[in-house]
Amino acid sequence: MEYKIYLSPPHMSGREQQYVREAFDSNWIAPVGPNINVFEEELCAYTGSKHALALASGTAALHLALLALGIGLSDVVLCQSLTFVATANPIVYVGATPVFIDSEPVTWNMCPNALEDAIRHYIRIGKRPKAIIVVHLYGMPAMLDEILYLCKKHDIPLIEDAAEALGAEYGGSKVGTFGTIGIFSFNGNKIITTSGGGAMVSISPEYLERARFLATQAREPSRHYEHHEVGYNYRMSNVCAGIGRGQLEVIDERVAQRRSNFQFYQHYFEGIAEIGFQTGIAETFSNRWLTALVIEGNRASPADIQTALLAHGIESRPVWKPMHCQKIYETLPRFGGSVSERLFERGMCLPSGSNLGEAGRELVARIVRSCF
């Protein structure tokens, strides 16, 4: 349907057209060109990463990250359960087995205690996990100190799924740069967009070069088209990278606007005991890509609120359904309790776009409050 207020629509700065026009004028309408090179350099400068690779999607970045780490058939990958399905699917692409880890209730991200239980179990049975995928859900940094400690202790690479978290920080550094490999998404609903697209970042040039090779159909250096292994058409186009350059110029503004939405909702709902928010730990800075909350008690349910918002043409969304509850993954192993299930049952996300005006968020808040 056509909404009056969307959950998280694109927000153009106006500068994107200049870079797109340059791509057209120079005829760089391809997955190579100046915009891609500069966008990767600017992404490194913004995140503090050493190397970046612009790709067709965040999912492609995750797929390549697993391949770059040499993960394949029958390997075990420990994966956060409370996430979008695109976090888990690439594990299956490479023939590995996803094992799902429940959340902790503060950040809603991977529970370090459940993670440790899973690591110990698989080491005990002789199947040391080949990677861990942690998600910074809705732009909220996970408990990285504890997770990185376990990764280092057991020599397991960490992949950070920061698809929703560009601009978020942990201890003053940008998330996505703590693990062996980090990935971002620039889908149309993300904090900045390239219309569709993603990126892979790493301190290791070897992983990036391996991913770059695979992302360009694994073409060998030869005068003719020579291929010794299966590759993919995963590079970002020069036109899309031009959009990304214009978007990246205003990333700090977009983060500030999203955080302002969260602070508005948080203040407006003070006094409603049934409403709680996704919080974080002291050393973190969330980009608040989406304002996520939980609804307790019997006066109103998330479904009641979503229905009330929909009646006014306002889009909202349930919290992600955990992967271990999805039909395609429900038979796979999982570790932890039922925190993610509870968050799915009682959680929802409110309109959080950086172009959501004062009148729009006031209307959203009034409708939510009226449900109580």
DSSP string computed for 196-224 = S-EEEEES-HHHHHHHHHHHBTTB-SSSS
- The predicted structure's pLDDT at residue 314: 98
Residue 30 pLDDT greater than 90, yes or no: no
How much is the pTM? 0.96
Residue 46: other Cβ atoms inside 10 A = 16
**Adjacency order of strands within the sheet including 158-161:** 51-55, 198-202, 181-185, 158-161, 131-135, 76-80, 97-101, 334-335
Portions of the chain given CATH number 3.40.640.10: 16-248
Residue 366 pLDDT greater than 90, yes or no: yes
CB of 283 within 8 A of CB of 170?
Answer: yes
130 is annotated as an active-site residue? no
Annotated catalytic residue within 153, 190, 321, 327: 190
Longest dimension (CA), the chain: 70
Residue 1 pLDDT greater than 80, yes or no: no
What is the fold of 16-248?
Aspartate Aminotransferase; domain 2 (3.40.640)
Q: How far apart are the first and last CA of the chain?
A: 27
Instruction: Please report, for the chain, how many H helices and E strands are present, in that order.
Output: 12, 15
What is the fold of 251-370?
Aspartate Aminotransferase, domain 1 (3.90.1150)
Give the mean pLDDT of 330-359.
98
Using alpha carbons only, what angle is made at residue 147 by residues 131 and 326, rounded to the nearest 5 degrees?
A: 60
Cβ neighbours of residue 321 closer than 8 Å, sequence gap 6 or more: 344
